[in-house]
Amino acid sequence: MAEISSDIIRGYNDTIILYLLLDGPSYGYELSKRIRTNTDEKYIIKETTLYSAFTRMEKNGYIESFTDEVLSGGKKRTYYRITDSGRAYYQAKCEEWNLTKEVIEKFIVK
Amino acid sequence: MAEISSDIIRGYNDTIILYLLLDGPSYGYELSKRIRTNTDEKYIIKETTLYSAFTRMEKNGYIESFTDEVLSGGKKRTYYRITDSGRAYYQAKCEEWNLTKEVIEKFIVK
DNA sequence: CTATCGTACTACGCGTGTCGTAGTAAATAT
DNA sequence: ATATTTACTACGACACGCGTAGTACGATAG
């Protein structure tokens, strides 16, 4: 079966994460499982990709973090919450996606 | 208007080029114009991106080059022709695209 | 007759996102 | 007692795209 290449998902991991955060705050491990189940195992995000996306997006102001005092599985969780700026970015990414899809599909034989 | 980010087109430039070469051999300048017009100016490939894609794909055996003796515009043209391996790669990329599209669209609000 | 535009590239090096590998740490299942 | 699951962090490598610059010549415009 075809695999999803990191080159095409590149730059859309942020969008995927932001979409899931629209439902409310979440954390790495949970998000990774949601992505996995949501796509019927078709896309399994790499841990390093996920956590580096958190760092980047927090730096960019798209998400905010807060920590839970409760330890789960030995390590304290870091939760992330989407910001207004993140919501706007997500919307822009959706528009970009629709345009990009239109462009690429001109070169894809079905 | 939304712009196409290099992060999403990344890895699909090769596919776009191979698609156009299915019609027969072509060269850089012509392909760049065809991409431009084909997408109604929505996607204008950068020259460096295009020529580095040629180098990469020739190395990978997806395309073959030959030169025309006729000088055009002062510089001799390098034509590229798709190989059988390139055709197979293109097909695989199309399948990958369909899968990726399905995955990403689960996270896009329309 | 000089200058700019169009054609057709090549060279160099940077930035970014993804990924492989490895390590830390504790709770829970076997 | 050991393996697995949870929940991360650190480090470095790699590939692709892109900015910038340069080469070279014909054709067209002023």
Residue with tokens 């954390």, as numbered in its chain: A27
Residue A96: closest C-alpha in chain B: B2
DSSP 8-state secondary structure symbol assigned to residue A107: T
Residue contact B10–A8, C-beta within 8 A = yes
Full pLDDT tens readout for chain B, 110 residues: 677 888 888 989 999 999 999 999 999 999 999 999 999 999 999 999 999 999 999 999 999 999 876 666 556 789 999 999 999 999 999 999 999 999 999 999 86
Lowest average pLDDT, out of A18-22, A26-30, A75-79, B79-83, goes to A75-79
Write out the DSSP string of B61-94. TSEEEEEEEEEETTEEEEEEEE-HHHHHHHHHHH
With CA atoms as reference, report the closest residue to B107 among A47, A37, A81.
Answer: A37
Which residue type, as a one-letter code, is found at position A55?
Answer: T
Higher pLDDT, A69 or B19: B19
- Pick from B104, B105, B109, B110 the residue to mutate for testing the A interface (most A CBs within 10 Å): B104
Q: What is the pLDDT of residue A110?
A: 66
Contacts of B55 (CB under 8 A, 6+ apart): none
Higher pLDDT, A70 or A108: A108
| Confidence tier at A7 by pLDDT (50, 70, 90) | confident
Residue contact B104–A2, C-beta within 8 A = no
Which residue's CA shows the smallest distance to C1' of D6? A73
Between the CA of B71 and the C1' of D28, what is the distance in angstroms? Answer: 19
- Between helix B84-105 and helix A84-105 the angle, nearest 10°, is 150
Cα-based distances in Å from A38 to A43, A54, A89: 9, 20, 22
Q: What is the pLDDT of residue A69?
A: 67
C-alpha A46 chain-centroid distance: 11
With CA atoms as reference, report the closest residue to B20 among A12, A60, A108.
Answer: A108
Q: What topology is assigned to B6-105 in CATH?
A: Arc Repressor Mutant, subunit A (1.10.10)
Q: In chain B, what residues touch A43 (CB-CB under 8 Å)?
A: 103
Q: What is the pLDDT of residue B4?
A: 84
Residue contact B38–A5, C-beta within 8 A = no
- Between helix A28-38 and helix A13-21 the angle, nearest 10°, is 100
SS3 annotation, A11-78: CCHHHHHHHHHCCCCEEHHHHHHHHHHHCCCCCCCCHHHHHHHHHHHHHCCCEEEEEEEEEECCEEEE
List residues bridging with B81 in a β-sheet. B64
Sign (positive or negative) of CA dihedral B82, B53, B89, A96:
negative
Q: What is the pLDDT of residue B5?
A: 82
Predicted TM-score of the model (pTM)? 0.91
Query: In this predicted model, what pLDDT tens digit does every residue of A51-63 receive, in sequence order?
Result: 999 999 999 999 9
Q: What is the pLDDT of residue A74?
A: 60
